[in-house]
Structure 1
Amino acid sequence: MIFIYNDFGGTHTTALAAAYHLKKLDETRKPTENEILNTHNFNKLVYQDRGKLYFHGKDEDGNKVYTMGRGRSKILVPGIFNMIDMLIENGVLKEKIILSNTSPTVPFSMTCGGMLSRWLKIDFLGVPLLVTGAKQAYQDIINLVHYTKQTAHSSKSQLIMLENKEFK
């Protein structure tokens, strides 16, 4: 299986979701500031990185975990979905693919922190807001990862796109 967590920038909730999925962050408590800031790709990606897939590792079952930022595009993820579907229909792709949107887990503090840090380059204001947001959202992100894994394992579909609106 291949899991692809996606959101606007691909550098905050997606990075945290990948870390929880891969058990790099402890689910039993809020992450520390150091753990958040040292999560792979957390607050590191820029505008030009949108649309790229970033590999984070393989989970305990050997499934690959990726993240991606989609920016303002409303067509990028559906376009990827359609391309994957075509590859499956033509017998080119055999793996199950799950696209999971982490945007519904983003708290307001993380939105503000991301804008300040990534867009305006004001890290001394943005980064503390991002850390606060990551701590606020950690349980929602964990729940989303569990839901994503559960849906992937219980669905017979080879291709799944989760909007995850129930996490708002």
Structure 2
Amino acid sequence: MIYIYNDFGGTHTTVMAAAYHLKKLTPTRAPTRHEILTTHNFNELVYADRGKLFFHGIDDEGNPVYTMGRGRSKILIPGVVNLLSMLMEENRLHEKIVLSNTSPTVPLPMTLGGMLSRWLKIDAIGVPLLLYGAKIAYRDIVNLVDHTKSVAKQSSSQLIVLDNKRSS
């Protein structure tokens, strides 16, 4: 099975989801400032990285975990799904693949922090907002990853696309 966590930039909630999935972050408490900032690719990706898959590691069940930023594209994920479906139909791909959208976990401070830090290069304001937002989002990220893994194990589908709606 292959897990791919995706969202707009692929550099905040996705990487935290991958880190939690790989047990690099604990579910029992929000990560520290140091843990967040040293998470692989946290706040490091740029516009040109959109659409690229980034490998984060192998989970305890032997499954690779990736992240991807999709930007504003409304066609990237459907295009990826179409390509994977075609490869599966032609028996060229035999892995179960799970695409899980982390966007519903993004709180307003993280959105603002990402815009300030990644787009405007104002890290002095953006990074503290990102850290605050990451701590707010962490419980939702943990729940999303747990849900993603549960659906993946229970589903007989070879290709699973989880849009993950925002909880109210």
- TM-score normalised by length of structure 2: 0.99
Instruction: Specify the alignment match of 1:81 in structure 2.
Output: 81
User: Once the 2 structures are TM-superposed, how far is the Cα of residue 26 of structure 1 from its aligned partner?
Assistant: 1.0
Structure 2 Cα separation of the partners of residues 166 and 57 of structure 1? 27
| 2:163 counterpart residue number | 163
> Aligned letter for 1:137?
A
Which amino acid letter does the alignment assign opposite residue 147 of structure 2?
Y
Q: Determine if contact 2:105/2:166 at 8 Å carries over to the other structure.
A: no
Instruction: After the TM superposition, list the runs of 4 or more consecutive aligned residues in structure 1 that deviate by more than 4 angstroms.
Output: none
After TM superposition, the structure 1 = structure 2 runs for residues 1-168 of structure 1, keeping only pairs within 5 Å, are 1-167=1-167
**Gaps in structure 2 of 5+ consecutive residues:** none
* Structure 1 residue ranges without an equivalent (≥5): none
SS in 1 for 2:71: coil
Corresponding residue pairs, total: 168
CA deviation map 1:76-108 (0-9, x unaligned)? 001000100000000000000000000000000
RMSD of aligned residue pairs (Cα, Å): 0.7
CA distance in 2, matches of 1:82, 1:102: 20
The answer on whether the counterparts of 1:144 and 1:167 sit within 8 Å (CA) in structure 2 is no
TM-score, reference length from structure 1 = 0.99
Q: % of aligned pairs identical?
A: 70
- Report deviation, 1:167: 3.6
> Can you list the C-alpha shifts for 1:61-90, whole angstroms capped at 9, x where unaligned?
000000000000000001000100000000
